[in-house]
A and B are shown apart, each in its own frame.
Chain A
Amino acid sequence: MGLKIYDEVEEKSKLTAFISGEIDHHSAKNIRQEIDINVQKLKPNELYLDFSNVDFMDSSGIGLVMGRYKLQSERGGKVFIQNPPPLIKKVMLVAGINKLAKIVSIDVPLSEMQKAKESAQSSDSKADLANIEVYRNNDKNECEKVLNEEGEDIVEKENENSK
């Protein structure tokens, strides 16, 4: 299981959490905590949960979306479900979660997807540890420094043009 969080500081604050791996009752706890820590810190108007690299999900994933929807609603914010693969979407539609959080498809640069995948693979061995990377534009330099020390490149999100 891996999770990446990007923040976009624009007119509307927007946060995208790239979830990867398998979402079940066991892994949901960590994913939930990591998303909530960052949501509390950044207070985004729009929270995007990206499922493109999720390869399994049971109703724990529905609980995860419902919970984030509740927290966002309390602050007047929104939740979007981004790019769920067909089998994941099937679970979402059975649950009718699309009535709470709109399912959107957004082009995510391939390099970013690759990174999310790699991070999921590298964290498979420690399956119960969420792999988190937080990117924020305002302290990008710091991020870059940390990432460079780890031998990774910084990736910026560019999905505005595709909407």
Chain B
Amino acid sequence: MSRKKMKILNEIKLSFPSLSENERFSRLAVSGFASQLDPQVDELSDIKTAVSEAVTNSIVHAYKNKIGKIELVARIYEDSVIYIKIKDHGCGIPDIKKAMEPLFTTSPEEERAGLGFAVMESFMDKLKVTSKEGKGTSVILTKKLKTKLD
């Protein structure tokens, strides 16, 4: 996104417990919201995949062995930019740089590939992760869509 303040055209807020059933729900909800921009099939698939990764991280890592609240905000800015924020109040990430390294995972027993952030990074235009140990993590994903709608 550019430095000047962009106008928000639409916004949704969701809050749901960190149940793995909600991985599907959250990506479908965002996909439904994004569809008003008339995105291309592959763009929509990229967004769904990135959201699924972020939400799964909160479920698997932030709220390991417990259920907590996940907050999702999705916005449409002018110029067909989609913004998605996924926030949890879980354990936080002690070393974000390390966590973002491809193939790094703290859950090999669950067969996590350690590619969540790598996928988010390559499927979206921008990825921003902020985290505080013991407080939680938020992940902001943005993507400019190649839509015909203006």
Contact = CB atoms under 8 A, between A and B. Distances in A.
Interface residues of B, number: 25
A26 interface: yes
B78 to A, nearest CB: 28
A26 to B, nearest CB: 4
B115 A59 contact: yes
Interface residues of A, number: 24
10 smallest CB-CB distances across A and B, nearest first, come from A26-B20, A63-B111, A63-B113, A58-B52, A59-B115, A62-B113, A67-B111, A25-B56, A87-B45, A24-B23
B48 A56 contact: yes
Interface of A: 22, 24-26, 28, 32, 56-60, 62-64, 66-67, 86-87, 90-91, 94-95, 127-128
A56 B113 contact: no
B20 A25 contact: yes
Main SS of the interface on chain A?
helix
B45 A94 contact: no
Most buried by A among B49, B56, B110, B119: B49
Given A56-B48, A128-B21, A25 B59 contact: yes
B51 to A, nearest CB: 9
Contacts of A59: 53, 112-113, 115-116, 118-119
Contacts of A86: 42
A114 to B, nearest CB: 22
Contact of B115 (A24, A56, A62, A87): A62
Most buried by B among A28, A86, A94: A94
Interface string B104-128: 0000001111011011001100000
A59 B122 CA distance: 12
Contact of B111 (A32, A58, A91, A128): A32
A47 to B, nearest CB: 15
B45 A95 contact: no
Given A25-B112, A87-B41, 11 more contacts: A24-B52, A56-B27, A56-B45, A56-B52, A58-B49, A58-B56, A58-B116, A59-B112, A60-B113, A62-B115, A86-B42
